[in-house]
Chains A and B, each alone.
Chain A
Amino acid sequence: MGGDKVLVVGGGSGALGVIEGLRNGGYSGAITLVTNEGYLPIDRPKLSKALLTDLSKLQWRDAEWYKSGNVEVVQDEVTGVDFATKTASTKSGGKFAYTKLVLSTGGTPRLLPLQGFKVLGNIFTLRNVGDAKKINEAIGDKGKKIVIIGSSFIGMEIAVATSAGNDVTVVGMEKAPLERVLGEKVGNLIKAGVEAKGVKFYLNAGVDKAEPSAANPSNVGAVLLKDGTKLEADIVILGVGVAPATEYLRDNSVVRLEPDGSLKTDESFAVVGLKDVYAIGDIATYPYHGPGGAGKFVRIEHWNVAQNAGRTVANHIANPGVKAEFFTPVFWSALGAQMRYAGNTIASGWDDVVLQGSPDQGKWVAYYTKDDTVVAMASMGMDPVMAQCAQLMQLNKMPSKKEIAGGLDVLSLGPPQ
């Protein structure tokens, strides 16, 4: 025994949200963070947006800060949890008891199960600082042929980040980049902006295999597409999604993972069926109460959502009886210009997009609608429309599709609340 002890497993954005939320909320018990990344929690978006590797610029807080807040940081990897005795065990043989457990282990980048991709060098994924360092080293003094596989956000951001001085090609299965999230029309708007940076696209494309380089057969030399196209490559970067990093629970007899490997939680991110255990970030499937959500379960891989979930957990630990407040999911992406997004379409789906602004001038807002409900929006060059919409969605005061289609400017509504 020894009083309250919160154990946070995984050191990403969500972990920082929990820790700050707990301490700022007056929690005075013990806090231990176990992270396997080898550094303190970082501002991960900077990896894909700028391939930044300087820890002093990436780490949100320094060691002194954790020390001053009496937060123990352990560089180790949790390999199992005994929910009955409330103990987590680690790779190096450590055991950590908890009164509350917060799982925030994030995602593991997916690989391509295709010929060549698992054996050849200079094929990378991007999740942590080590990955970014390897990519930067491979790029070296530039002039490289870079093939990026995957036309969603990570792939597109890396394409933009590496486009200066390199020959960059994006290969995607979709008709337009980012189509799954933003739709074909908006995806093509963004594509035009990224093409202006010299990035080339192969869309509607399937990857066949990776071939070795003639000069150095241990490294990749080309990517072959299913239609026979051969793309020469010095470097290949995979942006084909992440899977919830919950391997340490896979063989646990007490917990049942969702089919995608995530953990199902309630609105407070407490894991369903477990006591005193929370899951946040990429590993959490939680009921969504945003516009059109109707409490359907979603898993959202946003930095902002992870951190808000962490703050929600901190509040719940401090005030278990208080109902969790809905927060609007928000993300942004460096796609030539900054794209901003609020809301979510996973729960509701969407059946139409209403576009406002002047897309030809790079200023637009896209409202994603389901029936008459605006469930999400994306914008470029229209600040602070996204912030306004995030606030309106939080208050359940987002105008209807009919009003938006009639030309309503959400900023004309004035300060929300």
Chain B
Amino acid sequence: MKPILLFAQRLRLRSLQPQFVHPVTSFRLFSVIAHNMAQEYKLKDVASLSLKPGEKQEVEVEGLDAKVLLVNAGGTVQAVGPKCTHYGAPLAKGILGTNGKLTCPWHGGKLSPPLSWVCNAADVIAPAQLASTPRLAISKTAPPSIPSPSSRRPNVTVPFTLRVTRRRSRRAVGNPTSSATPWVETRF
């Protein structure tokens, strides 16, 4: 049984609005990542990520009192915030196409993989986006949290990044008791 863990880090964006993907700023944002130690969080009751394209699953994150939505978006498993940041619709009830496009169940906003990209209106803001590039600036000090639209305000976005990780199998690692057991980021 392979526990599925999440790296969760709080993003400190001055504004909670989506940032322009700007050729100049994106370099700066990238450079921050390397200096941070990621914190790990377990996904409750998830033994493996065997989602097929078009499948999704809402799961609890242990230690965060929060949920994420795991989606197989066109062959890549991503974790996204569980609620649409437009009006807070439960994205677990959205329509995920086998092409990876996720349509919000309430107002038809559509996201393309990587699911940070809004390709169709109704929701002009992407749900929290995880495990996809570009990863945005992160703070070492701020407590990790899963964002959810606290009100019907469309002003929350990508406030954190999560990377879905999988522990290497014990056999592969060789020394299962070592505290230095490597954790390998996996793109599912």
Chain A interface (Cβ within 8 Å of chain B)? 13, 16-17, 20, 23-24, 26, 28, 43, 57, 60-62, 64-65, 68-69, 303-308, 310-311, 327-328, 330, 332, 338, 340, 342, 383-384, 386-388, 390-391, 414-417
The answer to whether B99 touches A417 (Cβ under 8 A) is: yes
**CB of A146 to closest CB in B, whole Å:** 24
Which residues from chain A contact B104 at a C-beta distance below 8 Å?
387
Among candidates A17, A26, A340, A416, residue contacting B106 with C-beta atoms closer than 8 Å: A340
Interface residues of B in 115-170 (CB under 8 A from A): 117-122, 124, 151, 153-154
The answer to whether the Cβ of B107 comes within 8 Å of any Cβ in the partner chain is: yes
A211 to chain B, nearest CB (A): 39
Cβ–Cβ contact A23 & B94, under 8 A: no
Residues of A within 8 A of B19 (CB): 68
A228 to chain B minimum Cβ distance, whole angstroms, is: 43
Question: Do A390 and B108 touch (CB < 8 A)?
Answer: yes
The minimal Cβ–Cβ distance linking A341 to chain B, given in whole angstroms, is 9
Besides the known contacts A307-B122, A328-B108, A416-B98, 13 further A-B residue pairs in the complex with CB atoms under 8 A apart: A43-B154, A57-B153, A64-B15, A65-B17, A69-B22, A304-B107, A327-B120, A332-B106, A387-B105, A387-B106, A388-B103, A390-B103, A415-B53
Size category, B interface? 35 or more
Question: Which chain A residue has the least Cβ–Cβ distance from B105?
Answer: A384
Which residues of A have CB within 8 Å of B108? 304, 328, 330, 332, 340, 342, 386-387, 390
A-B contact pairs, 30 of them (CB 8 A): A17-B121, A20-B118, A20-B124, A24-B21, A26-B21, A43-B154, A61-B17, A303-B121, A304-B108, A304-B121, A327-B121, A330-B122, A332-B108, A340-B107, A383-B105, A384-B93, A384-B94, A384-B105, A387-B94, A387-B104, A387-B105, A387-B106, A387-B108, A388-B103, A390-B108, A391-B97, A391-B101, A391-B103, A415-B98, A416-B95
Chain A residues closer than 8 Å to B18, beta-carbon distance:
20
Q: Which residue of B lies closest to A388 (CB)?
A: B95
Report which of B23, B95, B97 forms a contact with A26, defined as CB distance below 8 A. Answer: B23
User: How far is the CB of A16 from the nearest CB of chain B, in Å?
Assistant: 6
Q: What residues on A are CB-neighbors of B23 within 8 Å? A: 26, 28
User: Is there a chain A Cβ closer than 8 Å to B171's Cβ?
Assistant: no
Closest 5 interchain pairs by CB?
A307-B121, A415-B54, A330-B108, A384-B105, A417-B97
B121 lies within 8 A of A383 (CB): no
Please state if B54 and A311 are interface contacts (CB–CB under 8 Å).
Answer: no
Q: How far is the CA of A303 from the CA of B86 in the complex (A)?
A: 14
Enumerate chain B residues within 8 angstroms of A13, measured Cβ to Cβ: 121
Judged by a CB distance under 8 angstroms, whether B14 is at the interface is: yes
Q: Complex formed: what's the CA distance from A330 to B99 in Å?
A: 20
Query: Is A17 a contact partner of B124 (Cβ separation < 8 A)?
Result: yes
Nearest CB of chain B from residue A71's CB, rounded to whole Å:
9
Interface centre among A13, A17, A62, A416 (most CB of B within 10 A): A416
Picked from A16, A23, A384, A388, the residue with its CB within 8 Å of the CB of B20 is: A23
Known: A68-B19, A332-B106, A342-B108. A24 touches B93 (CB 8 A): no
A24 touches B20 (CB 8 A): yes
Instruction: With a 10 A CB-CB cut-off, give which of B17, B22, B108 has the most chain A CB atoms.
Output: B108
